[in-house]
Structure 1
Amino acid sequence: MIRVARAAPSLPPADLPVDLRHVELQCARLRAEEGVELDAIDWRIAKTARAEGWDNALWPVGTLRGRSLVLRVARREVSRALLGREVTVLRRLRGLGIQLPMGLPTVLGTADDAVLVEWIDGVTADEVEPAVRARVAVVLARMLATIHSGPAPEVGLNPVRGVPLETRAESFAADLERAVLPAEAVQRAEARWRAGLAAAPWEARALLLHGDPHPGNVVVPQPGAPGPATLIDWGDTTRGDPASDLGGLLLHLPCDAPLTAYRETAAWTGIDDQQIWEALEARAWAWATRMALSLVTAYPSVHPLGAVGHRLLAA
């Protein structure tokens, strides 16, 4: 399955229908992915959604060869494009024929407003113990490095990811004021933001980005369960400056270790240039600070994602 990161306390209102009748209609209109036999599915459509996020609802619909299936249903008009973008990139990544450091969601079929996927058992990386979180951060660093180093399909650009850092200045200032942080944390956030703005901007080719690799979008298997962690929720995928993805990476482990693992794995032109790397690091920490402020203003500190934001801002 493709999970949706846990929603903030107040979801934006849905402007598309998400009810049993609509789910049944989307299931009837599914177009199978290559090699998938929809007739083999044991259809058992639930009466209610299993979970609901900002853009999508997750609706249990049955099983295929013992694997639970959910329909990821767009609940907002803007979500339609995000689902389409996600499917395009997942197809491309699976078509590369290379072994990725992390798993990918398995798309089985698509409809106008929905995607049929396998449910992934596990917990998100914001809920695991620190030792596991550190290991996952390094694997995610290698995953992002691999994605960034490959071909970038023509996906639509994201207005808030992979963009020049200065375009997020207004949002940074607003969230910093709303966050009500201790003076030391405010000074640290401002210093990292200024350093990022002062760093040389990204001028190389636009790299393929996940767009939102925060800890709520990495599913870690339960202890003892087989398989790698899975990077989910590719709706924000885009092309641009890898610093925004590295900002999301730093939310997992706010220190040099994941950045070092990223640099050791990445193969895009310029990764070995020290000046390019130092500017990328500065922009990444600025992005991480921006994202952490967004988390602490959206979630209480007792929420796992709220705790993620506070850890970054305290580091």
Structure 2
Amino acid sequence: MANMPAAEVPLNEMLVTQLLHEQQPDLAHLPVHTLANGWDNGVFRLGKDFVVRLPRREISVQLIRNEQLFLPQIAELTSLNLPVPLRLGRPSETFGWPWTVSQWFDGEAAILSAPREHGGLVDQLADFLISIHRPAATGAPRNPVRGVPLRNRDRAFRDRVTPPRFAQHREIIALWEQSLRVPEWHREPYWLHGDLHAANILVLAGQVSAIIDFGDMGCGDPAVDFAAAWILFERSDRDRFRAKLDERIGTDAALWQRARGWALNLATVMLTQSDDSPEFLALGEHTLRAVLEN
């Protein structure tokens, strides 16, 4: 994506193989193939059954540690597949940061299919959020940009949303300011995925095969995860998604208004930081239309 920070340590298949020989020798014979280099982590497929995940920047090291420490606890709450660490790589002279081996899950990221095709995901994703949104463990991480009060994101939002960039600038700002007026989350912090968008949901045969990338995992206001309603679905499926959640957790108008604010925030991020990613640009355009629709 545009403005992606450079890797502070070069990640490649040779490095992964060397680390496996040193720390996980029983896996070192398996072929290694690069899958992705994101903002925070590099991801490599290991044989047919595993994935290796390594931080590419020092700021991302704590995210890997958070996954190693807390993702097993979240996985106990849901029946969906999550990338729970199977092997924990330790810092060494070869690579000075922690890294992880987890299970490979078949499926295609939902970002590669149209929102109109996501109706079959409604029940599973609603059940997933109902399952994990409960008080977090003592010492659970706090993400500084997810699950926080929306006012904490106000300056960054306004810096992004300028008239030259957004033709609907006035409408977007008005909706954002409406979200800021909603009462904040004052209950105890809940577990959060933190980044529940279409690239982090794997789909196989029209069903969720796994929820991946818990790098933004933390605790706080669950409204950030409810933003998935606008990111993933067309209006009719979004209404079903909301109705299912309301049936199980009770109607909370303020929570949904904050969720809409989070969806608006994330849409503007995707639209201003995805110049070289047509999939994320399309996702941002869909999300913005959905948020302005209702």
Shorter-chain TM range is 0.7 to 0.9
State how far apart, in whole Å, the 2-side matches of 1:173 and 1:294 are.
11
State how far apart, in whole Å, the 2-side matches of 1:52 and 1:93 are.
25
The residue type paired with residue 86 of structure 2 is: L
Query: What is the aligned counterpart of 1:233 among 213, 224, 249?
Result: 213
Give 5+ residue unaligned stretches, structure 1: 1-7, 32-37, 267-271
Structure 1 residues 74 and 45: alpha-carbon distance in aligned structure 2, compared to 1, 3 A threshold: farther
* Cα offset, 1:127, TM superposition: 1.5
Structure 1 residues 138 and 294: alpha-carbon distance in aligned structure 2, compared to 1, 3 A threshold: farther
The answer (yes or no) to whether the contact 2:21–2:28 under 8 Å persists in 1 is no
TM-score by length of 2: 0.85
**Which residue number in structure 1 is paired with residue 17 of structure 2?**
24
Query: What is the aligned counterpart of 2:6 among 13, 28, 36?
Result: 13
The answer (yes or no) to whether the contact 1:125–1:136 under 8 Å persists in 2 is no
Q: Quick check: 1:110 aligned with 2:96?
A: no
**Which residue number in structure 2 is paired with residue 54 of structure 1?**
39
The answer (yes or no) to whether the contact 2:116–2:233 under 8 Å persists in 1 is no
State how far apart, in whole Å, the 2-side matches of 1:148 and 1:310 are.
28
| CA RMSD between the two structures | 2.5
Structure 1 residues 302 and 14: alpha-carbon distance in aligned structure 2, compared to 1, 3 A threshold: closer
**Which residue number in structure 2 is paired with residue 188 of structure 1?**
171
Which SS does the other structure have where 1:49 is aligned? strand
Paired residues in the alignment total 280
* Cα offset, 1:99, TM superposition: 4.8
State how far apart, in whole Å, the 2-side matches of 1:262 and 1:14 are.
40
Which SS does the other structure have where 2:118 is aligned? helix
The one-character-per-residue Cα deviations of 1:236-265 (angstroms, maximum 9, x if unpaired) are: 111111111112442112643322222233
Structure 1 residues 220 and 178: alpha-carbon distance in aligned structure 2, compared to 1, 3 A threshold: farther
Counterparts of residues 1-315 of structure 1 (less than 5 Å): 8-30=1-23, 39=26, 41=27, 43-46=29-32, 49-62=34-47, 67-94=48-75, 96=76, 99-100=78-79, 102-112=80-90, 113-149=98-134, 151-177=136-162, 180-183=165-168, 186-221=169-204, 223=205, 228-253=208-233, 255-266=238-249, 272=250, 277-300=252-275, 303-315=278-290
The answer (yes or no) to whether the contact 1:70–1:117 under 8 Å persists in 2 is yes
* Cα offset, 1:288, TM superposition: 0.6
Q: Identity of paired residues, percent?
A: 28
State how far apart, in whole Å, the 2-side matches of 1:188 and 1:103 are.
39
The residue type paired with residue 44 of structure 1 is: L
**Which residue number in structure 2 is paired with residue 3 of structure 1?**
none
TM-score by length of 1: 0.80
Structure 1 residues 307 and 301: alpha-carbon distance in aligned structure 2, compared to 1, 3 A threshold: farther
The answer (yes or no) to whether the contact 2:124–2:208 under 8 Å persists in 1 is no
The answer (yes or no) to whether the contact 1:247–1:287 under 8 Å persists in 2 is yes
Which SS does the other structure have where 2:67 is aligned? helix
State how far apart, in whole Å, the 1-side matches of 2:184 and 2:156 are.
19
